[in-house]
Amino acid sequence: MAELHLSELVTDFLEHLEIEQNRSPKTISNYDHYLQRLVEFAGDCDIAKLDAEMVRQWRLHLNRTKDVSGNELTKTTQNYHLIALRSFLKYLAKRDITALDSAKIELAKTVRPQVTFLETEEVQRLLEAVDTSNPIGLRDRAIIELLFSGGLRVSELVNLNVTHINLDRREFMVRGKGQKDRPIFISPTAADWMDLYLKSRHDDGQPLFIHYSGSQDSAEGGMYTRLTVRSVQRLVKRYATAAGITKDVTPHTLRHSFATDLLINGADIRSVQGLLGHANIATTQIYTHITDPQLKAVHEKFHGRRA
């Protein structure tokens, strides 16, 4: 029987993700990165040699691997490698290629990350830190309002076009992870700031949020290119510092704040799951600590009431 080399099968798998699964270029790139690490470790061996013992040794190798900054790979990052491997093995099974059973790939236990979010007063301070007397400030205020009001991922935000937004209905659709569409709803305040920002634009470019070249004084001219994820991350951090917020504030912090605000004000976890676009309710449950004070209040109100 002819050998089936690991690298060739990985290439087939990535093409399968692109064509049959219609996965995003980012997802395919990530899977490629993780599986190429396996190929580098195992060598371009026959798939039959990829057994449980080799996977055990690879996991040990990943646990001892350091990134470019000299830091060890986190358990979460190591699990991303294993998730990619598991998907790869499932693909091989569908093609009736004899290989290691994907069910034998167990993920490492991880500590649930602590969610950082902003209190209502901190969100207000962040918004007020923006100087809205110029087009750049109007853009930045609109960005922060939209991140907090809509709970968008930063990647979803930068991919928006002007034509995607409906300010009259205050709702629109975004395409999130897994190429899944979901509705985004925004507050009247967020819609008002979006309107002010769009009225300050004097171009016919498609991107909703643009990078103004040159200084603020020359913001009316120059090139209009789509704002990048990194640019949004930098501006959010800059305004958080200006507002005197000591927390590490990122665009995702505003997404956490959006979810937290919903739960504190009585939204149920399933609705929050839908608004965030989480495929699995377990992902949304990182916010359940928010409801703990409410549970305590219910307990004190309804349990053990003795004269």
Known catalytic membership, residue 224: no
Q: Residue 297 above 80 pLDDT? A: no
Please tell me the predicted confidence (pLDDT) of residue 147: 95
pLDDT band of 222, cuts 50, 70, 90? very low
Q: What is the pLDDT of residues 46-98, one digit of tens each?
A: 999 999 999 999 999 999 998 888 889 989 899 999 999 999 999 999 999 99
Known catalytic membership, residue 212: no
Please tell me the predicted confidence (pLDDT) of residue 219: 40
CATH 1.10.443.10 occupies which residues in the chain?
120-296
Name the active-site residue from 139, 153, 170, 256.
153
C-alpha–C-alpha distance, residues 278 and 53, integer Å = 34
6-104 carries CATH number 1.10.150.130? yes
Q: Residue 294 above 80 pLDDT? A: no
How many whole angstroms from its chain centre is CA 252? 7
Mean of all residue pLDDT scores within the chain: 88
Q: Which has more pLDDT, 4 or 1?
A: 4
Residues 6+ apart with CB under 8 A from 212: 135, 136, 139, 218, 219, 222, 224
Please tell me the predicted confidence (pLDDT) of residue 112: 67
Name the active-site residue from 75, 125, 177, 226.
177
Known catalytic membership, residue 238: no
Predicted TM-score (pTM) of the model is 0.69
pLDDT band of 212, cuts 50, 70, 90? confident
Q: What is the pLDDT of residues 181-198, one digit of tens each?
A: 899 999 999 999 999 999
Please tell me the predicted confidence (pLDDT) of residue 299: 66
Name the active-site residue from 31, 34, 239, 287.
287
C-alpha–C-alpha distance, residues 191 and 112, integer Å = 35
Please tell me the predicted confidence (pLDDT) of residue 255: 93
Alpha helices in the chain (DSSP H): 6-19, 25-42, 52-64, 75-94, 120-128, 135-150, 154-158, 188-199, 229-242, 251-264, 269-276, 281-284, 292-302
Instruction: Kindly tell me the burial class for residue 301, based on how many C-beta atoms sit within 10 Å of its own C-beta (0-12, 13-18, 19 or more).
Output: exposed
CATH 1.10.150.130 occupies which residues in the chain?
6-104
**3-state SS class at 71:** coil
pLDDT band of 216, cuts 50, 70, 90? very low
Q: What is the DSSP letter of 41?
A: H
Known catalytic membership, residue 153: yes
Q: What percent of the chain has pLDDT above 70?
A: 90
Q: What percent of the chain has pLDDT above 90?
A: 62
pLDDT band of 295, cuts 50, 70, 90? low
Mean pLDDT computed over 133-156:
95
Known catalytic membership, residue 177: yes
Please tell me the predicted confidence (pLDDT) of residue 184: 92
Q: Domain 120-296 falls in which CATH fold?
A: hpI Integrase; Chain A (1.10.443)
Known catalytic membership, residue 287: yes
Instruction: Kindly tell me the burial class for residue 93, based on how many C-beta atoms sit within 10 Å of its own C-beta (0-12, 13-18, 19 or more).
Output: middle
Q: Residue 209 above 60 pLDDT? A: yes
Name the active-site residue from 37, 81, 141, 278.
278
